Structures are given as C-alpha cells and as structure tokens.
Amino acid sequence: MKARSAFGLLLLVVMLGSLAFPGGPVQAQTIKIGHEVALTGPNATWGESEARAVKMAAEKVNAQGGVLGRKLEIIAYDNRADRLEAVNVAKRLVEQDKVVAIIGPAQSGVANAIREVNNSAKVPVIATTATNPKVTVNDDGAVVPYTFRVCFIDPFQGTVAAQFAYRDLKAKTAAILYDVGDEYSQWLGKYFTDAFQKDGGKITTSEAFRSGELDFRAQLGKIKQSNPDVLYIPTMQKEAALSAKQARDLGIKATFMGGDGWGSPDLFDLAGRAIEGSYFVNITALEDPAIQGFIKDYRAKYNEDPVLPNPVLAYDAVLWLVDAMKRAGTTDGEKLKGAMEQTKDLQVLTGKLTIDPKTHNPLNKPAVIQETKGGKFLYVKTFVTSD
Amino acid sequence: MFLQTIITGLSIGSIYALMAVGYSLVFSVLNFSNFAHGAIITLGAYIAWAIMVHYFQVPFLPALLLSIAGAGILAFLNERIAYSTLRRRRAPSLYLMISAMGVAIALQNLLYATIGAKLYALPSVFEQDTFDVGGASLSRMDLFAFVFSVVAIALLHFGLTYTKVGTAIRAASYDMEMVSVLGVNLDMLVAVLFLIAGGLGGMAGVFMGVKYMVYPSMGWITNKAYIGAVIGGLGSLPGAIVGGILLGLLEALVTVTTIGSVHLSTYRDVFSFGTLAILLIVRPTGLFGRLVEEKL
C-alpha cells in the first residue's frame, strides 16, 4: 500500500509539473479581419462573390508569409444588407471576435448604420462599394475618423452618368425614378440632376417610390407623359428590373440608365427583354484590362466569373489593410488608421491607390460605362469626366 | 393619364381585395387577425415558382391550381399546428394573434434559411402582355387576375350561401358556441375555412409573383390587405372586396399627386396607415362591418 500511494503521489507530481513546462511550438495568433457582407438577400450575388475574393486575397497574403509574422484570418458574417442586422454583426465582430479591422459593408445606408460601433471601438472599416459621400464625411465637412472606402463616390458617378447621357447619347431631356428610402438612390438622383442641368439638359420629372415598392406604374404614367429621352433609375437591380419592365409595358420609349446598383447578373432574369439596350455606370467591368489577372485566378478557383465590382474592391481593401499594417508595424486601431490615411500610390487591382486623408476616399478612381445587350453586360468605355 | 391611374389602382386593388377576403373570412368566424396569412401567400408564390421554374416546367394554369391547393393545405396545417389547441382552450384572440405572428416570422425565416433570399421571377404568362385601352395600357395578366379573382369570389359567395358547410360557416361567424351546440363539427368547419382562406391567399401569391417577383418578405404586403379589410369592415366579405379595391385606388391616386413640389408618392404609406388609424377611431365597423368589441 505504501509503495502504491507513493507511486500515485509521484505520478501526480509529475503530471502537475509537466503543466509548468508546456512543450511544442506556441501557436502564433492570427490577425482577425472582419467582413460585413450580404450573403443572403437581394444583394447576395455580389456579397457571395465579395466573400470569395476576400478569402482569395487573404490566402495569397498568407502564402507569402502573412503580415507582421502572423497569418490573416477572415471572419465573415451575413448582414443581409439590412441596417439592423449589420449593427449586430459589427458589435459581434468588434466585441466578441475582436477584429482589428472590418471590410465592408457594400451599401451606403448600412455603412452609416454601423458607424457608431466601429468608431467608438476604434476599428477601421473599409466600405467596398458604399458610394454615398456621407459615409466618410459628415455634413459639417469633418471626416468620420474610422470609416474609409475603396470605391468612387456618388457625385462622381452621377456626373459620369449625366455627361454620358448628354454628350454620348445626345439626350436633351431626362426623367428620374428613385427610391426615397435609400440614401444611395436619393443622392445619386440628385447628383445626376445637377450635372445634367449643368450641361444644358432638362429634367422633365423626378418621381419617387418607397423602398420595397413593387408597382411603379403610377409614377411611370407621369414619366411617360413628360416624354424624356432618358430615364435614369439610380436604384438596385430589383427595382430597376421591375420599373424597366413596367415602363416598357406602359409604352415608354426612353433609354434607361442606372448606376453601379444594376450590375448583378440576375438583372436579366428579373427584367427580361425590357432592360436590353440600357446603360449604367460601374466601378469596373469584366473586360477591364487592369483586373484580368484577378479574374483568371478567380475563375480557376471558383469556376465562375466574379460578380463585379464588389470582389475587386474587397480584394483592394485587403491589400490596402495589409500595406497599412506593415507600415504601422502594428494592428492597433489608432496607428492603423493613421497608416491607412497615408496610403500613397499603392498598387492595387484597380490601379494606384492614393487616399485623401481629409475624406478617407481614394483619389482618381475611374468609372466604366456598361451596356446591357443580349443578356450580358458589355463594356462600352472608361469614362473621364470633364467640367 | 387618369385612366391609367385608375387601371393601376384597380390592378393592385384586386390583389389587396383577394388577400383581404381571405383575411376577413378567418376574422369573421374566429375573431382574430390571421397575421400568418401573409406567409401563406408567400408560400403560394414559392410553390408556383417551384413547379413552374425550379423543379418542373408546369404551364401556368395547372400551376396556379396546384398552388391554390398547396396554399390551402398549408393554411390548414397552420391552423392545426398553431391555432387549434388555443382555440379549444378558448384562449383570448390576443394569443391567437401572437401565435399567428410567430408563424409568419418563422415561415419567412425558414424560407431565408432554406431557399435563400434571392429574387425569383415567374415566367411571363402572356407573350404580348399589354394592349391599349383608350390611351392607357392594360396588362393581360392584370385582366386575367381580375377576372379569375371575380370568379373565385363569386364561387365563394355561392358556396357560402347555398352549401351546408357554407351556411355553417356563416352561422359560425355570428356565434361559434351556438353552432357547436347545434351539432356542427367545429374542427371540420375551421379546417374548411382555412382551406378556403389559404386557397385565396395562394391565388393572390401567384398573381403577385407573376406580376412582380417572388421573394421571402413578400408576405408583408398583407398589412395593406388588413387596411383594406378594416376599411370595408372586418368580418364582412363584400366589405373586404370593396375595401381592398378602394385602398388600391387611393394609393394609386396618392402616388401620382404632387402638391407644389412635394411628391405625395413618398407619403403613400402615411396615407394608407393614416386612413386605417382614422377609420378605426371614427367608424370602427368600417363601411359594411358589424360592431365587434375586440379588434385584434
């Protein structure tokens, strides 16, 4: 008995002792990057593609050794492009997962909604396709400290559309059908109006509908009466498809134009023939020579085309973050933000990224015009605005 | 322009009316607002999508009938699972309403989780869809939906007036207790009631899916149907029809009106829900309804 209990005591001591000397290599902590993305819902076609691109970018960075000796870990949650859900996601990423930065969201309204969360937690957010200026700059002109974006802004986009309509399509009159419940749509309509009138065009009528609306025939009836050359529909693809279909049903002959919210492939499923021969402004296109390398990699890995422009911008956002982390030498929120503001001529997929520290927006971002033809998006040209 | 607005109003009004009838039917007998009606409508549209686009290529008319049947069965199951126990325990209307809301949210999220929230379009039924009527365009689909709904509601009226079950339903809408005392099998009556209400809902769902598109949250349009039912008088079927159509016309007229530079279209829902609020205060029985104490 005595021998057994002595042995047992020895065993216990050895076991406890071994805890004080943990063997084996210490697991390096990953750098957690959050991703606010719409994986379900009407915006899911872009969101899923965006999520894949972010994973691709992270894998590439990790294969080259990671950042600051650590690997990147992407934590993506579905926000359904819903503002309420997005706030939940942001809180989860910031408080539970303790991410160092967040990529996304892709919608301006949603980016505005999570502003409080990431700014009080000092976690930088890079919105991918949120184009409304207020996302990064307040009404009083002050920059939102921890929110950035990697795409162009709507005043630019509206001007591109207006100038293309007036100068290339030779339209003299235009009407607007916009969503009053969506910041993106409201303001984009306004920017188009300003630029179109500046060129000398006339806005015949401007009609609004509420988000979630399905039937635009009352508004379209008025638009038909005013007989515009162009009908500008600055909305997402669902409303654009429905309104185009109903407009053609009513006998409206105007050319339809839109913004980057149109670029989802299901636009054709939903609109049928009605949307043929329309034009819209986008951030990039499949034929854009600058992104062919990315497209090849994406096709090889996922066996399908990326749904532009989100994946390209999300990829650029990852590259931007990685570069800023390297320059700051840390993932600390404040220093990371400072480094991000100083980004200059960083080579990303869509060209050279230089950030304006006063607005957190990229300088010199181009825009492309696409045409809807034969059930596909055709690249028309890269547009340069002129005053 | 006015004619076009009227046509638009009638087309959306007829869908509201269809939904409101299903709604009012349940309310007239069971005295509670079946908020799950929206979910049944959505499922009707999805059934149509499943058999017209996703799994098979069933042509429109059979698909419509199958969806009506399917939605009716789903409504029946809904009643069995969510309401029958409460009803037997003579629970207050509030409990039934909460159960209904729960079903609505659960079904919608079930759709999100399984099929996903992608938007789907049902194939166009008529090739050349619109034709000209006195300067305005009328859609063939709208005309078909209108006529079909009229026929369906006429059949319903016929059934309610001249069949035994129909008479029992009408009696139950006055006094459910008495009807069961007189020997009517209440369970069977309620089952038939929900089959009918569900069928009408499924019809509305398919028409909505063809005219617009199919997506999980399309059921929330029944809030409008509720307004229509209340305007016409909750519990009254002709009231539901009139209320639904009136609401559709009102909305269409509001949408095209511009006072100064203010587009009333953006205040359209303010008008709709405001009308509801005012009506409930001023004339809670609506245009045709009977006086009912609890209006849940």
Mean pLDDT of A60-76: 91
Q: Cβ of B139 and A249 within 8 Å? A: yes
CATH of domain B2-282: 1.10.3470
The per-residue pLDDT of chain A, averaged, comes to: 88
Q: Is the pLDDT of residue A7 over 80?
A: no
Residue in A40, A225, A242 nearest the CB of B1: A225
Query: Is it the case that residue A320 has pLDDT exceeding 50?
Result: yes
Residues B29-63: b if buried by 16+ CB within 10 A, e if exposed: bbbbbbbbbbbbbbbbbbbbbbbbbeeeebebeeb
Q: Answer for the pair B292, B271: CB distance below 8 angstroms, yes or no.
A: no
| Residues A325, A339 contacting (CB under 8 angstroms) | yes
Of B117, B211, B255, the CB nearest to A218: B255
Q: Does A19 score more than 80 pLDDT? A: no
Are the beta carbons of B255 and A249 separated by less than 8 Å? no
Asked if residues A178 and A205 have their Cβ atoms less than 8 Å apart, the reply is no
| pLDDT tens digits for range B1-29 | 788 888 888 888 888 999 999 888 888 88
Q: Taking the model in full, what pTM does it have?
A: 0.76
Are A218 and B118 a contacting pair at CB < 8 A? no
Q: What is the per-residue pLDDT for B117? A: 66
Average pLDDT over residues A244-269: 90
A158-185 average pLDDT score: 92
Tell me how far apart the alpha carbons of residues B17 and B79 are, in angstroms, rounded to a whole number. Answer: 22
Minimal Cβ distance to A207: which of B112, B252, B265: B265
B295: pLDDT confidence band, cut at 50, 70 and 90?
Answer: very low
Q: Name residue, tokens 């303010």.
A: B270
Residue of B nearest to A245 (CA): B212
Q: Band of the pLDDT at B128, cuts 50, 70, 90?
A: low
Question: For the ranges A25-34, A194-203, B1-10, which has the lowest average pLDDT?
Answer: A25-34
C-alpha distances out from residue A82 to A112, A137, A375, B8, B77, Å? 12, 22, 29, 30, 31
**pLDDT band at residue B294 using 50, 70 and 90 as cut-offs:** very low
**% of chain B surpassing 70 pLDDT:** 93
Question: For B255, which residue in chain A has the nearest alpha carbon?
Answer: A218
A350-373 pLDDT, tens per residue?
778 888 888 888 887 778 899 999
Q: Is A171 helix (H, G, I), strand (E, B) or coil?
A: coil
Q: Give the tens place of pLDDT for each residue, B132-171.
A: 777 777 888 888 888 888 898 889 988 888 998 888 888 8
Both structure tokens of A281:
């402004």
**Residue in this structure with the two tokens 């006195």, named with its chain if needed:** B134
Cβ contacts of B137 on chain A, cutoff 8 Å: 249-251
Section B99-103 average pLDDT:
92
Min Cα distance B122 → chain A (Å) is 9
The predicted pLDDT at position A26 comes to 45
Least Cα distance to B29 among B148, B246, B188 occurs for B188
If you average pLDDT over residues A69-73, what whole number do you get? 91
Q: Which residue in this structure is represented by tokens 């480094």?
A: A339
* Portions of chain A given CATH number 3.40.50.2300: 31-152+288-356, 155-282+368-383
Given an 8 Å threshold on Cβ–Cβ distance, is B118 in contact with A242? no
Chain B residues with CB-CB distance to A217 below 8 A? 4, 8, 11
A242 touching chain B per CB within 8 A: yes
Q: Please give the biggest Cα pair distance in chain A.
A: 105
What's the rounded mean pLDDT across residues A268-282? 90
Q: Which of A2-6, A204-208, A343-347, B93-97 is predicted least confidently?
A: A2-6
Cβ-contact B83, B101 below 8 angstroms = no
pLDDT reported for residue B255: 81
Residue-level pLDDT at A376: 87
Of B119, B130, B139, the CB nearest to A266: B119
Query: Which pLDDT does position A279 carry in this prediction?
Result: 94
Q: What is the reported pLDDT for A166? A: 94
Residues in chain A: 387
CA nearest to A81 within chain B: B117
A259, A327, A300, A369: which is closest to A67 by C-alpha? Answer: A327
pLDDT band (50, 70, 90) for residue B296? very low
User: Which residue in B7, B8, B120 has the most chain A C-beta atoms within 10 A of its own C-beta, making it the best mutation to test that interface?
Assistant: B8
Q: What is the mean pLDDT of chain B?
A: 84
**More confident call, A123 vs A266:** A123
- Beta carbons of A210 and B1 less than 8 Å apart: no
Q: What is the pLDDT of residues B64-95, one digit of tens each?
A: 999 999 999 999 999 999 998 888 888 888 89
Name the residue facing A218 among B118, B124, B252 (closest C-beta).
Answer: B252
Chain B residues close to A250, C-beta within 8 Å: 4, 130, 137
pLDDT grade for A1, boundaries at 50, 70 and 90: low
Q: Which of the two residues, B221 and A37, has the higher pLDDT score?
A: A37
Residue A17's pLDDT band, with cuts at 50, 70 and 90, is low
pLDDT of residue A87: 94
The CA distance from A78 to the nearest CA of chain B, in Å, is: 12
Count the residues in chain B: 296
Q: What is the mean pLDDT of residues B124-139?
A: 74
Average pLDDT over residues A12-30: 61
Residue A24 has pLDDT above 50, yes or no: no
Q: What is the DSSP string of A26-75?
A: PPPPPEEEEEEE--SSTTHHHHHHHHHHHHHHHHHHHHTT-BTTB-EEEE
pLDDT of A344 higher than 60: yes
Which of A200-204, A295-299, B3-7 bottoms out in mean pLDDT, i.e. has the lowest?
B3-7
pLDDT value at residue A29: 84
Q: Does B182 touch chain A (CB under 8 A)?
A: no
Mutate to test the interface with B, among A222, A226, A235, A237 (most CBs of B within 10 A): A222
Yes or no: say if A153 and A131 are a contact pair by the CB < 8 Å rule: yes
Distance CA B267, CA B127 (A): 35
* pLDDT score, position A189: 93
- Which sign, positive or negative, has the C-alpha torsion B218, B224, B228, B233? positive
Assigned architecture for domain A155-282+368-383: 3-Layer(aba) Sandwich (3.40)
What's the CA angle centered on A306, arms A305 and A311, to 5 degrees? 165
Instruction: Give the residue on A whose Cα is nearest the Cα of B120.
Output: A270
For domain A31-152+288-356, give the CATH number. 3.40.50.2300
Percent of chain A whose predicted confidence (pLDDT) is above 70? 94
Contact predicate A115/A147, CB 8 Å: yes
Pairing between β-strand A173-179 and β-strand A202-209 as defined by DSSP bridges: parallel
Mutation target for A interface from B119, B141, B267: give the one with most A CBs within 10 A. Answer: B119
**Which of chain A's residues have a Cβ under 8 Å away from the Cβ of B135?**
none
CB distance A215–B116 less than 8 Å? no
Determine contact: B5 vs chain A, CB below 8 A: yes
CA A62 to CA B178: how far, in whole Å? 75
Burial of A28: CB neighbours in 10 Å, binned 0-12, 13-18, 19+? exposed
Which helix (DSSP H) or strand (DSSP E) does residue A199 occupy?
helix A183-199
List chain B domain ranges: 2-282
Range in A24-38, A195-209, A275-289 the model is least confident about: A24-38
| Nearest in space to B258 (alpha carbons), one of B273, B268, B269 | B268
Q: Do A42 and B215 touch (CB under 8 A)?
A: yes
Strands (E), chain A: 31-37, 72-78, 101-103, 125-127, 147-149, 173-179, 202-209, 230-232, 255-258, 278-282, 346-348, 351-353, 355-356, 361-362, 367-373, 376-383
| pLDDT confidence of residue B256 | 78
- DSSP secondary structure string for all residues of A327-386: HHTS--HHHHHHHHHT--SEEETTEEE-EETTTTEESS--EEEEEEETTEEEEEEEE---
A109-113, A268-272, A383-387, B242-246: the lowest-pLDDT one: A383-387
B110: its two tokens: 């079930």
Across the range B237-255, mean pLDDT stands at 87
Of A201 and A385, the one with more pLDDT: A201
Which residues from A are below 8 Å from B8, CB to CB?
215, 217-218, 221
Over residues B227-247, the mean pLDDT reads: 85
Q: Is it the case that residue A257 has pLDDT exceeding 90?
A: yes
- The stretch B38-47 carries a mean pLDDT of 92
- Looking at residue B3, its pLDDT comes to 83
User: Span B275-279, mean pLDDT?
Assistant: 84
